Amino acid sequence: METIALTTADHLTIIGDYYPAQGNKFAILLHMMPATKESWRPFAGKLVNAGYACLAIDERGHGASTQGGELRYREFSPEQQQAKILDVNAACDYLKTQGAIEAEIVCIGASIGANLSLQWLKEHPQSKAAIALSPGLDYHGVLTEPAIAGLAPGQLAILVASEEDTMSFKSNQRLHELNPAQTKVFAFSGLGHGTTITDNKPAFIDELIQVLETQLK
């Protein structure tokens, strides 16, 4: 694993952990609040073993991406939260320098990172899949209904939530109703929110990777 620095289109420095792998598959990993890039380490380890090079970033205002303490996500306006999509685009650009093309990149996010992953998928029609752990319909103005409704042919959104996380669970039902052909839903009970789901059920990561493998063929 290598720690790297990215520059966004609006000139912020974003710090990421890059996990190289053998193969031509790539994943962008987007954490939930208040987590950081380190929350993806168990998931990234399994992805690397499956041949996915991974880039887990500290989104702006989180972890090592606070611009020397000037940006704190707890103080963000909705517009600043929405600008995190620029962090995702910078991650994509970095993966391209490592040989990736968009058709080989998947985006995986938790909570607000899940919403960002769906937005990124919609904005990159060559990409084939995103995984959203505990998305909502609206996290600080990062909306998922327009993303799901606007998916390009051949794209798949993999939606995951645990039943007691009522908002995310109902959001996934709504998103699936909106576009049943391009969404695959996994529903659990008692596993929590975001990456807590995969922390509590590590074997589920293997199942998600199998879904990705099928989608990327």
**Segments making up each domain of the chain, as ranges:** 2-216
Cβ contacts of 38 within 8 Å, gap of 6 or more: 17, 56, 63
Averaged confidence pLDDT in the chain:
98
For the entire predicted model, the pTM comes to: 0.98
pLDDT band at residue 128 under the 50/70/90 scheme: very high
| Bridge partners of residue 129, in order along the sequence | 156
Q: Which CATH class is domain 2-216?
A: alpha beta
What tokens does 178 get? 């909106």
pLDDT band at residue 9 under the 50/70/90 scheme: very high
Q: pLDDT tens for residues 151-208?
A: 999 999 999 999 999 999 999 999 999 999 999 999 999 999 999 999 999 999 999 9
Give me the pLDDT at residue 65, please. Answer: 98
Across the range 38-53, mean pLDDT stands at: 98
pLDDT band at residue 99 under the 50/70/90 scheme: very high
pLDDT band at residue 96 under the 50/70/90 scheme: very high
pLDDT at 24 over 90: yes
In angstroms, rounded to a whole number, what is the distance separating the alpha carbons of residues 172 and 144? 10
What tokens does 185 get? 């839903």
Strand order in the sheet with 105-110: 2-7, 13-19, 52-57, 25-30, 105-110, 129-133, 156-162, 183-188
- As a whole-number percent, the residues of the chain with pLDDT over 70 amount to 100
Q: In this structure, are residues 83 and 9 in contact, taking their beta carbons and an 8 Å threshold?
A: no
Across the range 57-86, mean pLDDT stands at: 97
pLDDT at 216 over 90: yes
Question: How far out from the chain centre does Cα 214 lie?
Answer: 19
pLDDT at 217 over 90: no
In angstroms, rounded to a whole number, what is the distance separating the alpha carbons of residues 16 and 54? 10
